[in-house]
Amino acid sequence: FPDSPWLWRFADFDRALSTRERCALMAFYRGCLQRHLYFHGSEQRLLSKNAAFAPLAESLAEAFPDARVIACVRAPQAALSSQLSSLRPALTACHGRYDAAVFEHRLGSRFAAYYSHLREVLPRRLPTHAVFLPLAAQRADLAGSVTTAYERLGLALAPAFAARLRARDALARQHRSAHRHTLADTPPAAGSLDTELAHAAAGFDFGATAPVAAGDLRSTA
């Protein structure tokens, strides 16, 4: 739904929504998690894998101060290219014709804001409870990177999970995505968004082969 005002407000959640709206939605989300854990077992640790939560970083830190965050990051140009390529078939099928140039530029601007928001919020709100995990680290040393991330977050790594990580490590090194895309396929995004995306990438080392604690980024914020 590329023209939905509500969805675009949600994409700027922490800044665009009022305190009342944010609190109400966080209360609803907490209730969802409570029911989920009640069913599966309250002794469990819930993993929520959702890239769309980037604009909710401040609200989530307020609502769940004991949460741990692993922010998986990659170069924003590649991430945006992948996102646009993945969305086009669904947009065409569900929505029909739409102004691709306007949508892609708007989404690109939001992508840039996601990086900047995480870069500003996590070191300030969750310096010891958040790490940035570059894609390069996941590919080069999956087991070592996740183990290090757990250590920095003060989490225990279960032996069974550690064994599964070691088993997946070689596969991660060999993995090559079959998804082919390039930002050059979207001239409006490729041209006018370069500055925004470059600014969003400032302070991130996307080639790092180990996770970085959010608190370690404060000196360059």
Residues 6+ apart with CB under 8 A from 147: 157, 162, 165
Q: What is the pLDDT of residue 173?
A: 66
pLDDT band of 221, cuts 50, 70, 90? very low
Lowest mean pLDDT among 1-15, 23-37, 116-130, 172-186: 172-186
What is the average pLDDT across 105-131? 91
Q: Considering the chain, what percentage of its residues have pLDDT values greater than 70?
A: 88
User: Residue holding tokens 């939560």?
Assistant: 53
pLDDT band at 147, cuts 50/70/90?
A: very high
Average pLDDT rounded to a whole number, residues 146-172:
89
Q: Do residues 173 and 140 lie in contact, with contact meaning Cβ atoms separated by under 8 Å?
A: yes
The answer to whether residues 68 and 153 touch, using CB atoms and an 8 Å cutoff, is yes
Q: What is the pTM of this model?
A: 0.83
* Assigned token pair, 154: 């003060």
Residue 177 pLDDT > 50, yes or no?
yes
Say if residues 162 and 147 touch (Cβ distance below 8 Å). yes
Q: Which residues contact 187 (CB under 8 A, 6 or more apart)?
A: none
What is the Cα–Cα distance from 101 to 205, expressed in whole angstroms? 30
